[in-house]
Amino acid sequence: MKKVELINFQKSYDQRTQVLKGIDVIIEPGEFFVLVGPSGCGKSTMLRMIAGLESISGGDLFLGDKKANHLTPSQRDLSMVFQNYALYPHLTVEENITFGLHVKKIFKKEQKMRCEEAGEMLGLTDYMKRKPKELSGGQRQRVALARAIVTHAPLCLMDEPLSNLDAKLRARMRSEIRQIQRKLGLTMIYVTHDQTEAMTMADRMMILNGGEVQQIGKPMDIYNEPKNTFVASFMGAPPMNLIHAKVKGSSLVVDEQWLIPMSESIRAAAQLNEVTIGVRPEHIQLANDDEPGFVVVVSNVEVLGTETLITFNIGDKKQWIARWSGQWNLRIEQPLRIFIEDQHLCLFDAQTGGKLDGSQDSSFLNKEWITI
């Protein structure tokens, strides 16, 4: 277990464009911390800087209580799992797992013991004498994990370790990695672009975009309280539905078609002409007869067994997706009257994308959407 602390962490390759723009975070000992973001957001760079494979352009890195800016990768006492596993094709599984252990002054006997222990944990005992090319993708992944385990390093870094596996195996390895991390009490920093992996594995996660932190927090907090439209649309599958609305008097007007009355307090708080409205797919309901609702037209239906995804047009260009549990047999072009509870509406600043503070306040919106 080891604490990792980043203070104003920066990276720039050419002194002009910043790849990472001053990141501050403290990763607690024993925490499973996930870095997530779209490709090119700087998450891998950040991991490589923590590992010492890239230099740190600005700010400080503390591992434990020690400043680690200028330590070599091996001095940082960490292990790393690479995206393509970085197994040595000419060495056997056993030799791969124990590669480099002699540097840490671990004797042959101890090496063998640790290797067997890790092999047992990951079900590799029968494959110790094989070469990597004689293994399946999942087994190679396990060898890479075993190699990280045998070092007994308190901090483990993983760079998209599951992205080369098929969906089924990925789901299994997710829970396996999580279990091993808990069992060994590792501090884990895990990079992924897959929001499902982030949601299911993380104790806490950081969402990065364009080298800037969008939000740090527990998965559920991030899902329920996204700080801005980027986080809202990145987390969750399908993502949060967003649409622009104009503020007119005491109402929000969506695409000249719908009107939402707005309470006095929020109007005073947000002196804006335009906002973005966000709704999670599961919060769009079918309206009962006594509930106020508005009519949309179904444009696509995906029945997934336990749930149904309904795509419908809202406004002229936008499409929203609703997620209803159960199997719904809907026709294309069928009109639906839908209803959204006001507590589930999120409001964002249309310019900056930032969340408007009062928007969780249930008094801020009056209930119904009114079709103009």
CA-CA-CA-CA torsion sign (269, 272, 273, 276) = negative
> Token pair of 370, please?
């009114």
Is 75 one of the binding residues for another protein (CB under 8 A)? yes
Alpha carbon distances (Å) from 32 to 64, 71, 84, 109, 309: 16, 23, 21, 31, 31
Backbone angles phi, psi at 225, to 5 degrees: -130, 65
Is 109 one of the binding residues for another protein (CB under 8 A)? no
Is 14 one of the binding residues for another protein (CB under 8 A)? no
Is 268 one of the binding residues for another protein (CB under 8 A)? no
Which of 3, 104, 130, 244 touches another protein by CB under 8 A? 104
- For 46-94, the DSSP string reads HHHHHHTSS---EEEEEETTEE-TT--GGGG-EEEE-TTTT--TTS-HH
Which of 27, 78, 146, 350 touches another protein by CB under 8 A? 78
Residue number, 89 or 326, with CB nearest to another protein: 89
Is 15 one of the binding residues for another protein (CB under 8 A)? no
Is 276 one of the binding residues for another protein (CB under 8 A)? no
Is 86 one of the binding residues for another protein (CB under 8 A)? yes
Q: How far is the CB of 100 from another protein (least distance, A)?
A: 3
Is 133 one of the binding residues for another protein (CB under 8 A)? yes
Alpha carbon distances (Å) from 41 to 21, 159, 193: 11, 14, 10
Q: How far is the CB of 352 from another protein (least distance, A)?
A: 38
* Interatomic CA distance for residues 361 and 340, integer angstroms: 15
Which residues inside 34-53 make contact with another protein, applying CB under 8 A? 51-53
Which of 62, 82, 223, 324 touches another protein by CB under 8 A? 82
> Token pair of 268, please?
């005073």
3-class secondary structure, 333: coil
Which of 44, 79, 187, 215 touches another protein by CB under 8 A? 79
> Token pair of 164, please?
């080369």
Question: Which residues here bind another protein, judged by CB under 8 A?
Answer: 51-53, 72-75, 78-80, 82-84, 86, 88-91, 99-101, 103-104, 133, 147, 151
